[in-house]
Amino acid sequence: MMAAVCGDLRIAYAAKTEKYEIAEMAEIVELQRNSANWVKVVDDIVRIEKKIFPKHESLARSFDEELKKKNSGLLYTQFGEEIAGYVMYSWPSSLSACITKLAVKENYRGQGLGEKLLKVAIEKCRTRNVHRVSLHVDPTRAAAMQLYKKLRFQVDTLVEGYYSSDRNAYRMYLDFDME
């Protein structure tokens, strides 16, 4: 019995190590406004966006405009030509920033990419000298909720009907230590 438990722990440890190796290898790239690959990156992301999110939660139709807004940024990671995940953030005021989108393509999930993307986005927000990063999440999105809690986001309030009449959101926040 003991041997079986140790074996299970070893397998879990190996899986975790492999997970972090993949995330460590992944390069997180910031999409630059005048870059030659702007159209391709945005097209690929819009395709992923349509697959992952229901219409009322998707930015597919407005992604390009959202990105062109001042004070917003997009980070993504890719393997070969394939975009595996992305995070969009903005800093509408000098006080706070928002994570407006986070997604990892299904076949790339569970490998540490979502966490890495989010951490890099948080660091980008931190460099804007804001006090707080906030976001909205459907409480039924278990993986996202776990990830936000892991990175110490706290629930601020429940916003009823945020996504649609029958879909609510938690507003969550992470405060920076401004010492």
Ligand X SMILES: CC(C)(COP(=O)(O)OP(=O)(O)OC[C@H]1O[C@@H](n2cnc3c(N)ncnc32)[C@H](O)[C@@H]1OP(=O)(O)O)[C@@H](O)C(=O)NCCC(=O)NCCS
Q: Which of 29, 46, 52, 120 binds ligand X (CB under 6 A)?
A: 52
Q: Which of 62, 94, 146, 154 binds ligand X (CB under 6 A)?
A: 146
CB closer to ligand X out of 54 and 92: 54
In angstroms, the CA 31 to CA 137 distance is 24
Site string for ligand X, 111-130 (x = CB under 6 A): xxxxx---------------
In angstroms, the CA 120 to CA 126 distance is 10
CB closer to ligand X out of 113 and 122: 113
Taken in order 18, 101, 141, 159, is the CA torsion positive or negative? Answer: positive
CB closer to ligand X out of 16 and 35: 16
Give CA separation, 158 vs 125, 143, 173, in Å: 24, 18, 12
Residues 76-105 that bind ligand X (CB under 6 A): 102-104
Total residues contacting ligand X (rule CB under 6 A)? 19
Interacting residue ranges for ligand X, rule: CB under 6 A? 52, 102-104, 109-115, 137, 141-144, 146-147, 150
